Amino acid sequence: MFTRTMLGAAGLAIASLAALTPVASAAPASVLDDGLVKATVRFHTTDNDKDHDSHVTVYVKEKDGTIAARTDSDFGQFPDNSDNGPFGMQVLDAATRDDFAGGTAVVRIDPKGNDTWQFTMYVELDFANGRVKNFQSENLSLSEDGRQQTFPIQ
């Protein structure tokens, strides 16, 4: 299809060609078929709650260090012995399941003042081909003195 538009008194012509050449995908078909499409995180707080204004950041890294998904928010208070989430994570890279072998998950807390939070974290990664990768880390404890923990994706 060829279109031509005349603009202004100077008679500037703009021509465009459309639908003549297929657009190539930005990623190989295997990545699109198997790529990460959704990620969620949820928490089970044990016997030490998270304060309402403590900011939480979670990200999942591929084996090469690329951040594939992340979220951060205050999320409100997480009382003792409560389940919170799932919370959606922003998918930043359509990584495959194989890209996560040897990868890591990171959880960080930035409290306003003093806050110690003890919990288990559960992450679910959903892929375009319908496969799901679940992993968890138990007995985590974060505070103003120990703000971040990293653990392997298994």
**Residue 79 domain-assigned?**
yes
Q: List pLDDT tens digits, range 72-125.
A: 999 999 999 999 999 999 999 999 999 999 999 999 999 999 999 999 999 999
* Domain with 66 in it: 28-152
**Residue 100 domain-assigned?**
yes
Spell out the residues 6+ positions from residue 110 whose beta carbon is closer than 8 angstroms to its own.
Answer: 54, 55, 56, 57, 147
Q: CA-CA distance, 107 to 37, in Å (whole number)?
A: 21
- Tally the domains of the chain: 1
**Residue 23 domain-assigned?**
no
Q: List pLDDT tens digits, range 10-35.
A: 443 333 333 333 333 344 444 456 89
Per-residue pLDDT at 44 exceeds 80: yes
Q: CA-CA distance, 51 to 63, in Å (whole number)?
A: 32
**Residue 1 domain-assigned?**
no
Query: What CATH number corresponds to the domain at position 32?
Result: 2.60.60
pLDDT score, position 33: 66
**Residue 18 domain-assigned?**
no
* 79 prior amide bond cis, ω within 30: no
**Residue 97 domain-assigned?**
yes
**Residue 49 domain-assigned?**
yes
**Residue 16 domain-assigned?**
no
